[in-house]
Amino acid sequence: MAVTIALFQVPSSSFQTRRLNFKPAIIRTCRSSVTSCCDSSNGREPEKGVKGVEKLLEEKRRAELSARIASGEFTIERSGFISSLRSGLSNLGAPTGILEFLSKWTDTLGDYPKIPEAKGAISAIRSEAFFIPLYELYLTYGGIFRLTFGPKSFLIVSDPSIAKHILRDNSKAYSKGILAEILEFVMGKGLIPADGEIWRVRRRAIVPALHQKYVAAMISLFGRATDRLCEKLDAAASDGEDVEMESLFSRLTLDIIGKAVFNYDFDSLTNDTGIVEAVYTVLREAEDRSVQPIPFWEIPIWKDISPKQKKVNAALKLINEILDDLIVICKRMVEEEELQFHEEYMNEQDPSILHFLLASGDDVSSKQLRDDLMTMLIAGHETSAAVLTWTFYLLSQEPSVMSKLQNEVDSVLGDRFPTIEDMKKLKYTTRVINESLRLYPQPPVLIRRSLDDDMLGKYPIKRGEDIFISIWNLHRSPKHWEDADKFNPERWPLDGPNPTETNQSFR
Ligand code: HEM
């Protein structure tokens, strides 16, 4: 099945952020720290003017859409006498108090209240990233509503207690649904699309690989890889060259994830090899499939003749061949080493997750192992790149936050690479990333499907409901956050706990 929702322009794969139009002005790196500073005086005033007009038009368009949504233009009214009475009274201008009383009374007449419902054929919102109009709809329809597109409907959840019920308290009653269908071609039954027993078994196999010694080795890898990026930025700065940070962050995280997961050096910051192109081909395909109303790629002849599908298949073949080679090399290393497998097992030359899995007895020939490696490659790379890009975008807008962060990084690290011990000391830096993830959550929406009938809040739902949990709405709701749209790392005091779902009113 394909995603039948053109409205949901799920960007950069369904678990990904939308592509940025942000192009920071020339970046001057500050070598003593891993941060960069933005110079906004790079002859960019005319561009700023154009952006200002675009922003005004965007705000106007959004205000018009909000007004249309609030007017009830997209509301699907309930049928029946009470509903007709309510809408008749509303047309006659009856006071809101009476209308609300009638609604509540209607709710108590049936066994259960009905989920508010909106029509999805909203041409006005087709042109933007899907979670933006979902926010406008949330303000009118509340923490749970149904969005209907012809015969198909989706439940949009923006209520923390309902999200908690689906994701934690009753998680066994939900599968990954559409997400698994879109990602099957690349991730198979890897940990992200996997459900039920496969998920439980693979999670138990993979999580032990992420022990403290591994994390310490990875932090040292982050330092070395980031230093290579800084060298590139320094060179660009001294030549007065513009750089596209989104692309560079994406290459940085690809290089890191290759080493961290299967000890492969993509070296994408330096080279544009076939394998790097293959990874991007697959990533873009996942993104495209998430917005196609018809699953062309499932049509047998189309699969074989479409140049695009041929390219995707060739890219997948190349990545899989490289994975196979890496598995063989790694297996040989495991067989030759004398190290006994134990809880904090790690090979110093190859600390990768693949090495841990093979040493722990994972089946080398299994498709499951390849699916999990591919999942981590795709899942780890673009998410991390998006967080870095948005964080630096936000920092470029708030010089005071930027200089506070630089002071902390300089005082904790000075001129050396970070270690695991430094992480706890970089409190302000952590708050900055927390706040960036609040404003630009990765992914902005989580996808699930109900496997059984269930109750969501006061509403009963049936088996087979496709559900979108809008993290974007949860993170920007004026109900839960003061000045919700403001980038303000100070909202979490440095002497308080590191914000998590358990201490941030995730009820
Ligand atoms: C800042 C970077 C990252 C963010 C914001 C992020 C975010 C998330 C989120 C929200 C989920 C839950 C998705 C869902 O339940 O539908 C998830 C799952 C997952 N992520 Fe990440 N991720 C990041 C980095 C990574 C990296 C570096 C890797 C791989 C090395 C990775 C691998 C995974 C895997 C395997 C899962 C599935 C876990 C499970 O279901 O047990 N992620 N990630």
CATH number for the domain that contains residue 340: 1.10.630.10
Dihedral sign, CA of 366, 367, 370, 376? negative
The tally of domains found in the chain comes to 1
Please report, rounded to a whole number, the percentage of residues in the chain having pLDDT higher than 90: 61
Question: Is the C-beta atom of 133 inside 6 A of ligand 1?
Answer: no
Residues shown for the chain: 507
225 lies in a domain?
yes
Mean pLDDT of 427-434: 97
407 lies in a domain?
no
Question: Is the C-beta atom of 383 inside 6 A of ligand 1?
Answer: yes
Which residue carries 């394909």 as its tokens? 2
Q: Which two tokens stand for residue 131?
A: 């979670």
**Residue whose C-alpha is closest to residue 391's, from 342, 340, 352, 430:** 430
pLDDT at 505 over 80: no
DSSP label at residue 75 = B
* Nearest residue (CA) to ligand 1, atom 28: 380
Give Cβ neighbours of residue 345 (< 8 Å, ≥ 6 apart): 339, 356, 359, 360
Which of 131, 192, 352, 445, when mutated, tests ligand 1's pocket best, judged by the most ligand atoms within 8 Å of its CB? 192
Predicted pLDDT of residue 27 = 30
Predicted pLDDT of residue 119 = 79
Q: Which residue has the higher pLDDT, 48 or 421?
A: 421
68 lies in a domain?
no
The total of other beta-carbon atoms located within 10 Å of residue 208's CB is: 15
- pLDDT, the chain, mean: 83
pLDDT at 57 over 90: no
Predicted pLDDT of residue 207 = 97
Ligand 1, residue 446: give the atom nearest the CA: 16
Angle, alpha carbons 361-363-366 (nearest 5°): 160
Predicted pLDDT of residue 441 = 96
Question: Is the C-beta atom of 376 inside 6 A of ligand 1?
Answer: yes
Ligand 1, residue 202: give the atom nearest the CA: 41
Domain of residue 248, residue span: 189-380
Which residue carries 């699930």 as its tokens? 448
Helix (H) or strand (E) holding 32: none
233 lies in a domain?
yes
Q: Which residue has the higher pLDDT, 10 or 324?
A: 324
Predicted pLDDT of residue 296 = 79
123 lies in a domain?
no
**Contact of 134 with 468, CB cutoff 8 Å:** yes
Mean pLDDT of 390-396: 97
Please report, rounded to a whole number, the percentage of residues in the chain having pLDDT higher than 70: 79
Distance CA 184, CA 300 (A): 17
How many angstroms separate the alpha carbon of residue 150 from the centre of ligand 1? 33
pLDDT at 39 over 60: no
Distance CA 342, CA 356 (A): 10
- Own/partner contacts of 197-200, CB < 8 Å, gap of 24 or more, are 198/368
Which residue carries 């949860």 as its tokens? 474
83 pLDDT band, cuts 50/70/90, is low
Most confident of 63-67, 92-96, 202-206: 202-206
Question: Is the C-beta atom of 229 inside 6 A of ligand 1?
Answer: no
167 pLDDT band, cuts 50/70/90, is very high
Question: Is the C-beta atom of 387 inside 6 A of ligand 1?
Answer: yes
Each residue's pLDDT tens digit, 123-144 = 545 566 778 889 989 999 999 9
Q: What is the pTM of this model?
A: 0.82
Question: Is the C-beta atom of 384 inside 6 A of ligand 1?
Answer: yes
Q: Which two tokens stand for residue 103?
A: 């609604």
Predicted pLDDT of residue 11 = 35
Q: Using alpha carbons only, how large is the chain's radius of gyration in Å?
A: 25
347 pLDDT band, cuts 50/70/90, is very high
Mean pLDDT of 59-83: 67
358 lies in a domain?
yes
Predicted pLDDT of residue 301 = 80
Terminal alpha carbon distance of the chain:
34
Strand 152-157 to strand 466-470: parallel, antiparallel, or no bridges (unpaired)?
parallel
**Residue whose C-alpha is closest to residue 40's, from 395, 462, 308:** 395
Predicted pLDDT of residue 336 = 93
pLDDT at 100 over 70: no
396 lies in a domain?
no
Q: Which two tokens stand for residue 178?
A: 């559409």
How many angstroms separate the alpha carbon of residue 311 from the centre of ligand 1? 27
Give Cβ neighbours of residue 327 (< 8 Å, ≥ 6 apart): 262, 354, 358, 364, 369, 370
Predicted pLDDT of residue 187 = 94
20 pLDDT band, cuts 50/70/90, is very low
61 lies in a domain?
no
